[in-house]
Structures are given as C-alpha cells and as structure tokens.
C-alpha cells in the first residue's frame, strides 16, 4: 500500500519537477535567448542573466520601475531554483519506496494531460494568472514603449514557454519509454521464472 501511495505522489510531482528543471535550465541558456530574441536584445539579456545569477548589477538600460520588477523576477528565479532542488530530492526519496516504472509512466500521462489543458487555455490568461500569483499588483505592467516590453514582447514569453514544454515532453517521453521497455523485458522473464 505504501509503495502504491509513494508511486502516485511521485507521479503527481513528476510533471511539476520536469517543467521546473527545464525552465531553470532554459532561463540561463544563452542559445535559447539568442534564438528567441531580436539581435539588439541579446546582449542586455546576457547581462540580465548575470544579474539573476548574482554576478553583476542590473543593466542600466532599465528604469527604476523596471529594475524593481527585475529584482522581483530575480527572487522568483532563485526561489524556483531552490524549490526544484528540494522537489528533486523529495521525488528521489519517493522513488526509493515506489514502483519507479509506475511512477514515471503515470507521471508522464499526467504531464500530457497538463500540456493539453494548457494548450486549450489562452496563453495570455495563463501569463496573467502566473504574474498575479508571483508579483504584487501593478508591479509587472509596463507601457508598450518601455525597455522591458520592447526587449521582451509577449511573443517572447509565449515562445519561451513552448520551448520549455517541448523539451520537457521529449525528455519525459524518452524517460517513460525507457521505463516501459524495461518493464516489458522484466515481465516475460518473471513469467519464465514462475514456470
């Protein structure tokens, strides 16, 4: 019974963990930003990533209100990083007591369900909901001519989110397929051993 409960809890955590891990990886991936941004936005973004890492000041091209929001973003990025590490440790601990194949296979199907659900929802609604949950009211809304909006238009966030989802799905599908194949090889052997 405990093994089954651990498998289900791990399966529920699996899609959240996978999305967080790939979000954390892509946030600091310069190649991803170069592919998604206009050429003039790349250098300020690389400086901004150094700021998020804690290695540099916030780029001076942003005004005071934008810098305040970027400080909030830095805090969120750091919290998501630490949260993903904690979640990863919890997930591994659950796998220790669970049927690993079941946890990962079920987790992948839960991930598929979430992706379909997100695909049905308008991205702007999801974007607004996330910002309302993570930031104080009004601190993340800027005029269309602001530096932040010029460098990071709505389409950038849409495409960035797609990159996270696609990479998460590909990796998770490969992981689930490996576990399913491993299970398929083990069950015939178990049937032969029983005879």
Task: Give residues with Cβ within 8 angstroms of 107, minimum separation 6.
Answer: 10, 11, 12, 13, 14, 15, 18, 172, 176
pLDDT, tens digit, 9 for 90 and up, residues 107-144 = 999 999 999 999 999 999 999 999 999 999 989 999 99
Task: Count CB neighbours of 178 within 10 A.
Answer: 12
57: DSSP letter: P
How far is residue 149's CA from residue 143's CA, in Å, rounded to a whole number? 7
147: DSSP letter: H
**pLDDT tens across the length of the chain (195 residues):** 577 889 999 999 999 999 999 999 999 999 999 999 999 999 999 999 999 998 799 999 999 999 999 999 999 999 999 999 999 999 999 999 998 888 999 999 999 999 999 999 999 999 999 999 999 998 999 999 999 999 999 999 999 999 999 999 999 999 988 877 776 666 555 445 544
pLDDT, tens digit, 9 for 90 and up, residues 171-183 = 999 998 887 777 6
**What's the pTM value of the predicted model, to 2 decimals?**
0.86
pLDDT value for 194: 43
């Amino acid at each position: 019974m405990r093994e089954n409960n651990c498998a289900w809890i791990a399966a529920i955590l699996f899609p959240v963990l996978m999305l967080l891990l790939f979000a954390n990886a892509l946030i600091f991936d310069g190649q991803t930003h170069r592919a998604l941004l206009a050429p003039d936005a790349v250098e300020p973004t690389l400086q901004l990533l150094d700021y998020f890492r804690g290695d540099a000041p916030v780029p001076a091209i942003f005004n005071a209100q934008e810098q305040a929001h970027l400080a909030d973003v830095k805090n969120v990025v750091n919290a998501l990083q630490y949260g993903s590490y904690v979640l990863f440790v919890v997930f591994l601990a659950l796998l220790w007591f669970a049927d690993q194949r079941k946890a990962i296979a079920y987790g992948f199907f839960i991930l598929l369900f979430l992706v379909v659900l997100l695909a049905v929802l308008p991205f702007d609604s999801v974007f607004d909901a996330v910002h309302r949950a993570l930031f104080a009211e009004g601190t993340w809304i800027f005029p269309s001519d602001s530096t932040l909006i010029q460098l990071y238009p709505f389409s950038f966030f849409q495409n960035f989110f797609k990159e996270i989802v696609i990479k998460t799905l590909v990796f998770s599908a490969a992981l689930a397929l490996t576990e399913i194949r491993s299970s398929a090889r083990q069950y015939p052997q178990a049937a032969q051993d029983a005879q």
